[in-house]
Amino acid sequence: MKKWLFLCIVLLVVGFRFYQKEESSVKYRPDSKTVAVQSETEGSEKTIHIDKEQIYEGNLILVNKDYPIHKKGTASDIIKLSQHEELTSGFSLLDHSIRLSQSVTEQFARLTEAAAKEGVTHFRISSGYRDSEEQEVLYREKGADYALPAGYSEHNSGLSLDIGSTLGEIGKAPEGDWLKANAWSYGFILRYPEDKTAITGIKYEAWHFRYAGLPHSQIMKDKNMVLEEYLEYLKQQQSVQITVDNRKYLVLYAPVSKNTSIQIPAGHPYEISGNNSDGVIVTVLLSTWKI
Ligand SMILES: [Zn+2]
């Protein structure tokens, strides 16, 4: 009987070790801040499993001349804006064919609603999602100085939009000023700023905004980082905490070279986005409170 018991234990241990080998495991590092998080959740953790393909999708994917978009990288909720009047009452469209991610459009509608309360009302979307054929045509027509080849443009993701003003050039219009000051609080980033052309490889575009979501847009704004720098920063930090609008977030980076498991504090909503090169970012909403 004892022999059987012994054999069972041996099998269980071997089996468990084998299971562990199947997945690499990433645990958030309990620095002094995350220890506080652990006590809030009474130390309980949730394990989430990441598929390697998840590297290529989500609001934080980096798409540039070095990292083309993956077939999974295009947002799954692309809509034709002219068919969604309920979302577009706060801005105009340059033409009826413009498409964009629905959730990004909803955030942009929130943004224009807030701007309208401050008297800034002349927003116009001039470009949104482009499929590879449209991007190729643009590249051929405009040339390498003004457009990127198909697959290398953020417009292929459905997360980027070119914003104009019906009052004139966006860089000189009140809409441009308002966006510069406030777009980040709705999850949008000015993707190609004037002082970062050496990093982005793209000349200053006052009109091109990209949705990255909160709290990322706030961190990038606070630290004056473009997406390239921010993703590198997360990779180095591995774990960042920030409070935005009374919401406390934990942001974790995990390298993913094969199917991976990540442990996060249990019982909190979270989102996963790839970086489009070698890992994922998990954003955990730790707490929300009202003043
Ligand atoms: Zn653009």
Point out the residues that are catalytic.
205
3-state secondary structure the chain: CHHHHHHHHHHHHHHHHHHHHHCEEEECCCCHHHHHHHHHCCCCEEEEEECHHHHHCCCCCCCCCCCCCCCCCCCCCEEEHHHCHHHHCCCEECCCCCEEEHHHHHHHHHHHHHHHCCCCCCEEEEECCCCHHHHHHHHHHHCCCCCCCCCCCHHHCCCEEEEEECCECHHHCHHHHHHHHHHHHHCEEECCCHHHHHHHCCCCCCCEEEECCCCHHHHHHHCCCCHHHHHHHHHHHCEEEEEECCEEEEEEEEECCCCEEEEEECCCCEEEEECCCCEEEEEEEEEECCC
Q: Which of 4-18, 181-195, 216-230 has the lowest mean pLDDT?
A: 4-18
pLDDT at 218: 96
The whole-chain average pLDDT of the chain stands at 88
Q: Is the pLDDT of residue 92 over 70?
A: yes
Q: Which of 8-12, 56-60, 114-118, 283-287 has the lowest mean pLDDT?
A: 8-12
* Ligand 1 mean position, distance from CA 32 (Å): 41
* Ligand 1 mean position, distance from CA 150 (Å): 13
Instruction: Tell me the whole-structure pTM to 2 decimals.
Output: 0.85
* Ligand 1 mean position, distance from CA 127 (Å): 7
* Ligand 1 mean position, distance from CA 179 (Å): 15
pLDDT digits 0-9 by tens, 1-26: 555 555 545 444 444 444 444 445 55
Q: Select, from the ranges 7-16, 22-31, 130-139, the one with the highest average predicted confidence (pLDDT).
A: 130-139
* Ligand 1 mean position, distance from CA 40 (Å): 42
* Ligand 1 mean position, distance from CA 41 (Å): 42
Q: Which of 244, 234, 248, 118 is nearest to 184 (CA)?
A: 244
